[in-house]
Amino acid sequence: MSFLKRCPSCGKHFEVRHTAETLESSQTGTITKTRATGARYSGYGVMDPYTNVTVETTEVPVEHDTYEEAYTCKHCGYSWTEKKKVTRRLGSGTATTE
Ligand SMILES: [Zn+2]
């Protein structure tokens, strides 16, 4: 599998091979999501000024993973590693790459 990466040594594209992926560290934590609730309209289509808007905060559990990716250039043989950080929402299975 080729990557659109560039070799830092010879500058060649398309010659880079991904050789390894190592999970270096994994930390669990939370991120805070906010949501406003309670905004209501009065019967006349006007925003009721006496309605209290509640801001709800939810703590979402996440996992911060740091990977070390190893690459080798097929052209000149240079190999190097790069760090990759991934934040995963626990339970949902979706991942975002920074
Ligand atoms: Zn190279």
Residue 7 Cα to ligand 1 midpoint, Å, equals 5
pLDDT of residue 74: 93
> Could you read off the pLDDT of 18-58 as tens digits, one per residue?
999 999 999 999 989 888 777 665 555 555 566 677 888 88
pLDDT of residue 30: 92
Q: Any idea where the domains of the chain sit in the sequence? A: 16-97
- Ligand 1 (ion): residues with CB under 5 Å are 7, 9-10, 73, 75-76, 78
Distance (Å, rounded) from C-alpha 55 to C-alpha 10? Answer: 54
Cα of 40 vs its chain's centroid, Å: 35
DSSP 48: -
